[in-house]
A and B are shown apart, each in its own frame.
Chain A
């Protein structure tokens, strides 16, 4: 690594030679305001917010893309620069609605924060406003063009990270919009509803479809039994929305808050994650013994399931028939648990709190409905929506005493906790499959080869003398890569785990927005959340799904045996190809 000398605001610094002005300034502790820039996405130098003055240059330069060179004299904070940035921001804002107080991103809006950073205190320009056009066709994602400032981060995350390219710029000039191909509605497009675009959107142009009002309404309905379930990764992220450091495990506070909100029962999706493992591990062993196709691919991630139907329909028979933990829980609540408390399934309203926006779509899938055609999961709200509900109900989340999830569907093992992080389902499945197949305890249950934040991971384990090769991918772009390799050589892997979001569910599209002036979609944040889940696994006395006493009892009392008749009725499903079919971009040289 060679270094060079540069002058930043008249002080001399030694910096790496092959970095940009923005990186150099970051390194010395000056954070230049930025908008379209994101370290994980290609640089487009589009918004011009990050301009700086370089002595000898005719114009201000975009620091995100301009490389440093020897002796360069950079000024980040002159009067002219400050004024120019303010003008640029005003021009970005001049066709943006002035309805911050009534906006869903109020308080957590990057554009609002940027205006505050830049010191915008009056609006001089009054531009023509964009036409109000809201695409709320999908149950997961809403695209409100009126709020879009065309920064393009959504387009880039969809193309470069997810390799889906569901949306792109269309038209030109003032009429430019970001839409799916052919101006189709999101619901009719190849969008997988993963919600990564929502995570990186600086405004309320892309948001989840909000169901909080419906849920408040149902909570006030005394004729219904209200049942909540909470996904593993919600508990290690929700604190961020309350200013609690990333990676704090808030499961007891969440259970308490949900009770205060008015839920009659608060269950844990980790219970049904254990149940998923029971079914999935057994399904895998069956397939290994020749009954069904290999490699088997996991089916927990809703975004991945939609991507599979539209991008990889040839893999339908490879995908596990297990429903996701959310849908298994909802199904069990409306059957086994309804019986247990002497109620009909129609008396129960299932609300799932998920880190995910695609789960809202999953909840409405007809193939996951109960016998009477009603949805098993009635509402799905994201971590963000729950955080808002807690605040709106005046619950002092930080200072709650906390309580346990309700029995019996609230008890879970460490194996279930790690479902929230990439590689976790694989690790949990191996723990159980190994012991079921060999009748021997697995000596080291920390399967580190499938841990870590790499996009694609591989590992292997010996079961009864046979080498089982496994692979894990998170982020749909990585998934495409891994699956193309698996298609080329069908014997390469036995078992594949796919999660649609980078990092797994902890990086889901429904997780809290980045804190004030933090980076959205920050890998550091995701790492903290992952650490918290592995810690919870480690601290749990029971770390294998098949040792969960509540699961054992559920099989004794109700289900019979894994893959049995009742399991098939309540816990398994089939998927089919959906259109339009997406194309998988071949990876190209950078």
Chain B
């Protein structure tokens, strides 16, 4: 996530769109634009999708259709810690779904959701290429391997503490 304020995000996105729609078949760049929007804003908010609709002259229903089709697009704010539990074959066989359930129960959120304190977001991943360490989860850019339900809960608790300690009073 960037620390830019909303106005800056919108301006940057508008500049990006203005450039891209000069090309042939501007509609075909919708996915690229949504990628950029998510990169700038962290997730695709209703306001951001409205902006894309206005700037690209594409109906919001179409944008909503694309945004809900691809797992990549996030429709809710993303937490400070973005958890992806791997559900690829190897991880699944080695107990990935128990790990996932443990995260859901510990944080009280479902896949695609973010905790109310905006600390954690939960996603599932399809193989992140660390099958040797199965089952694995990725939190932001760091991979945690050979997980058990207990291990992942400990990791989450440590992150909570870490976050409390780094908060400026």
Contact = CB atoms under 8 A, between A and B. Distances in A.
B61 to A, nearest CB: 4
A160 to B, nearest CB: 12
Q: Interface size for chain B: under 10, 10 to 19, 20 to 34, or 35 or more residues?
A: 10 to 19
B133 to A, nearest CB: 30
Contacts of B69: 169-172
Interface string A153-168: 0000001000001111
A171 B64 CA distance: 9
Given A172-B68, A182-B46, A182-B49, A166 B61 contact: yes
Interface stretch (B12-20, B52-60, B81-89, B146-154): B52-60
Nearest to A166: B61
Nearest to B50: A580
A149 B60 CA distance: 23
B62 A168 contact: yes
Contact of A181 (B27, B54, B60): B60
Nearest to A169: B65
Contact of B68 (A167, A170, A580): A170
A170 B57 contact: no
Residue among A179, A180, A583 with the highest chain B CB neighbour number at 10 A: A583
B57 A182 contact: no
Residue among B50, B60, B63, B69 with the highest chain A CB neighbour number at 10 A: B60
A183 interface: yes
Contacts of A167: 61
A585 interface: yes
B59 A182 contact: no
Nearest to A158: B61
Contacts of A488: none
Given A182-B46, A183-B64, A168 B59 contact: yes
Contacts of A159: 59
A583 B68 contact: no
A578 B99 CA distance: 48
Contact of B61 (A168, A171, A588): A168
Contacts of B50: 580
A557 B104 CA distance: 74
A182 B60 CA distance: 8
Given A170-B65, A171-B68, A182-B49, A586 B57 contact: yes
Residue among A169, A171, A172, A182 with the highest chain B CB neighbour number at 10 A: A182
Contacts of A172: 68-69
A172 B68 CA distance: 7
Contact of A170 (B27, B49, B58, B64): B64
A585 B61 contact: no
A179 B65 CA distance: 9
A250 to B, nearest CB: 38
Contacts of B65: 168-170
Contacts of B68: 170-172
Given A165-B62, A170-B64, A585 B57 contact: yes
A165 B59 contact: yes
Nearest to B56: A583
A154 to B, nearest CB: 11
A181 B59 contact: yes
Given A170-B68, A172-B69, A165 B54 contact: no
A583 B53 contact: yes
Given A159-B59, A182-B49, A583 B64 contact: no
A314 B105 CA distance: 52
A445 B68 CA distance: 55
Given A170-B68, A171-B68, A181 B57 contact: no
Interface in A554-590: 580, 582-583, 585-586, 588
Contacts of B27: 588
Interface in B29-71: 46, 49-50, 53-54, 57-65, 68-69
Given A170-B68, A182-B46, A182-B49, A165 B57 contact: no
Contacts of B61: 165-168, 179-181
Residue among A166, A169, A586 with the highest chain B CB neighbour number at 10 A: A169
B49 A583 contact: no
5 contacts: A165-B59, A166-B61, A179-B61, A583-B58, A585-B59
Interface of B: 27, 46, 49-50, 53-54, 57-65, 68-69
Given A583-B59, A585-B59, 12 more contacts: A159-B59, A167-B61, A169-B65, A170-B69, A172-B68, A181-B49, A181-B61, A181-B64, A182-B46, A182-B60, A582-B59, A583-B58
Q: Which 5 A-B pairs have the closest CB atoms?
A: A165-B59, A181-B60, A168-B61, A181-B61, A168-B65
